Amino acid sequence: MSKCEQCIIRQFNSLKALTREELVRISGCKTSRSIKKGEVIFEEGDAVNGVFCVKDGVCKLSKLSSNGKDHIVKLVVKGDLLGQRSLVGEESANLSAVALNDMEVCFIPKSEIMQDLQKNPKFTLDMLQQMAHDLKESDNVIVDMAQKSVKNRLADVLIYLNDNFGVDDDGFLAINLSREDYANVVGTATESAIRILSQFKKDGFISTQGKQIKIENLHKLKLIE
Amino acid sequence: MSKCEQCIIRQFNSLKALTREELVRISGCKTSRSIKKGEVIFEEGDAVNGVFCVKDGVCKLSKLSSNGKDHIVKLVVKGDLLGQRSLVGEESANLSAVALNDMEVCFIPKSEIMQDLQKNPKFTLDMLQQMAHDLKESDNVIVDMAQKSVKNRLADVLIYLNDNFGVDDDGFLAINLSREDYANVVGTATESAIRILSQFKKDGFISTQGKQIKIENLHKLKLIE
DNA sequence: ATCAAAACATGACAAATATCATATTATAAT
DNA sequence: ATTATAATATGATATTTGTCATGTTTTGAT
């Protein structure tokens, strides 16, 4: 099993603020885990007593809404920490986490990392900054959800995926979401998402092959209102 | 000018985690300020170099959306801190703050409070917990925005105002928002908000007098989908 | 390779919401 | 008290989005 103090992934999250000694201790109690595509990592209401450091793969964080639909709030990627909020307070998970492809993660028990939160102000401050950033992003998402059209939001998601995941050798988005997932990210009916994607195709903004999507005209996608 | 160490308001926010010495120092550099209804406290893009501790009154935090409408993200009330996020990172304000009624606030310069953030882990941890809580709430709002109908969201706002601000002697909501503000909270056109409130009135869920609103049937409001 | 299940696609229609026009009422300044 | 201004209200209509039905394609298990 690889050691935290040698792991390059931690540079991308708050764990970078830990000292070498702290990392050695964390390394001793962490557990590595492979997660298969589609597997549930935790569900709303679960007690998540620790954080996952994502070494590879992507998972979706979603919440069941009162109308019975699952809404995808966030995608968690390589380098991210998953379940930070379990560290503060005793509340159970507010969101469910499901792997979108095969993942490699490390799990660090809450009890261990709480010691660092209480003793290493640099670490706590880094998490604070991370959360402040997330909060700002959340506000932006709220405004977009409230004010933009479904078509606009769907275009935004395609742009986001292109910017953050890039494309494969054939030019298709490197991450594949189902049409239902797209609908659950923008908050619309699956049929509506499919319909709008079809329209984008007719307009020449994208092309598709099965569930794969290739952006053909990023500029025009950005102009959609 | 009153002293922080004697101020009861701080019990409601993260400042309660400061030591007596820290409070004395903060007290020496803070400035009290009265803000008139409608006054702009700060705007999107402003450099807010400190936090406001709200002693009295209410203000709205809003963001201009790409379609030109102002979206109200949050109401900040007595006891809350305003502008926490200015403390972490150097970014300018993401939201605008406008007083909804006359306010009394104290302003604490960033330079002073940063010392405490770096030295008092209890204070930092308290802010972290506060932000974690806000983040959870934000996720819930995102899901509601994405999945609930405008009518449902408007009913939710009325219930929220009733729960958090109570009613005056005549039974009207103790806080008065304009119809435009209601629209900007739920993310709809002003006419739509007015229309739905009219419908609520016809249905006997609420009654109105000018801009004042009285909830007549909280139970039925809660059943709206 | 075959088949069943899931995912994708599209039409027809219904419901929700936005927009524009125009009254009416309340509010604040003189 | 009067009046200009802003806020509230409502009708008519257009647009957006959701729902239900149904067919097609893709995918994965055998």
Which run of H or E residues covers position A92? Answer: none
Q: List the end-to-end C-alpha distance of chain A, in Å, as a whole number.
A: 49
The Cα–Cα gap between A188 and A65 comes to: 12
CA–C1' A177–C6 (A): 15
Coil, strand or helix: which one is B173? strand
Q: How far apart are CA A138 and CA A117, in angstroms?
A: 24
Separation between the CA of B90 and the C1’ of C8 (whole angstroms): 46
A212: CB within 7 A of chain C nucleic strand: no
Amino acid, single-letter form, for residue A24 = V
Instruction: Tell me the pLDDT tens digit for each residue of B165-191.
Output: 999 999 999 999 999 999 999 999 999
Q: A-side interface with B, Cβ within 8 Å? A: 63, 65-67, 69, 71, 73, 84-85, 87-89, 91, 94-95, 117-119, 121, 124-125, 127-129, 131-136, 138-148, 186-187, 225
Neighbours of A175 (CB within 10 A): 19
**Cα angle at B216 between B214 and B218, to 5 degrees?**
105
Which pLDDT tens digit goes with each residue over B60-81?
Answer: 999 999 888 999 999 999 999 9
Q: Please tell me which of the candidates A91, A132, A186 has its beta carbon nearest to residue B88.
A: A132
Global pTM value = 0.95
Sequence letter at residue B132: A
CB contact under 8 A, A143 and B119: no
Report residue A91's pLDDT band, with 50, 70 and 90 as the boundaries. confident
Does residue A37 register a pLDDT over 80?
yes
Q: Find, among B77, B86, B83, B31, the residue nearest to B54 by Cα.
A: B77
| Nearby residues of B90 by Cβ (< 8 Å), 6 or more positions away | none
Only one residue has tokens 């209410």, namely: B58
Question: Is A81 in contact with B150 (CB distance < 8 Å)?
Answer: no
- Please write the tens of the pLDDT for every residue from B84-128: 999 887 889 999 999 999 999 999 999 999 988 888 888 998 999
Count contacts between A and B (CB, < 8 Å): 134
ipTM of the complex: 0.94
- Chain B residues whose CB is inside 8 A of the A144 CB are 65
